[in-house]
Amino acid sequence: MPTTDAQIEQVRALVAAVPPGRVVTYGDIAAAAGLSTPRTVGWIMRTDSADLPWHRVLGASGRPAAHLAHRQLRLLAEEGVPIRDGRVDLRAARFPLPDLPGD
């Protein structure tokens, strides 16, 4: 099933809502947007996130993508996000999105 424009806009709105110093995972965004997989969020972020705080979205491990790691960790550190051994402390920095199952 193709991703709709409404879903893309919802992902963009959710990413834009993450405040400085906080992070979310691709899975968090997918769940809040009602998408079936975090990969869809990754695709949207790759194609349409230049004007968004893209650096605040991480994989479930708390590690950034290898090709973005240095830049992403630097931007997050500048915002005060706790980072240990190249990984964001998700317990401390995760931002609760609206309508997440289990929250």
Report if residue 101 sits inside a domain: no
Give the 3-state secondary structure percentages of the chain, helix then strand then coil, rounded to 5. Answer: 50, 10, 40
The confidence band for 99, taking pLDDT boundaries of 50, 70 and 90, is low
Each residue of 44-91: pLDDT tens digit? 999 888 899 999 999 999 999 888 899 999 999 999 999 999 999 999
Report if residue 102 sits inside a domain: no
Report if residue 12 sits inside a domain: yes
How many domains is the chain partitioned into structurally?
A: 1
| Domain enclosing residue 15, as ranges | 5-93
Predicted local distance difference test score (pLDDT) of residue 100: 42
Report if residue 98 sits inside a domain: no
Report if residue 35 sits inside a domain: yes
Strands 87-88 and 83-84: antiparallel
Q: Which residues of 4-32 are buried (b: 16+ CB within 10 A; e: fewer)?
A: eeebbebbbebbeebeeebbbbbbbbbbb
Report if residue 64 sits inside a domain: yes
Report if residue 33 sits inside a domain: yes
Tell me the CATH number at 16.
Answer: 1.10.10.10
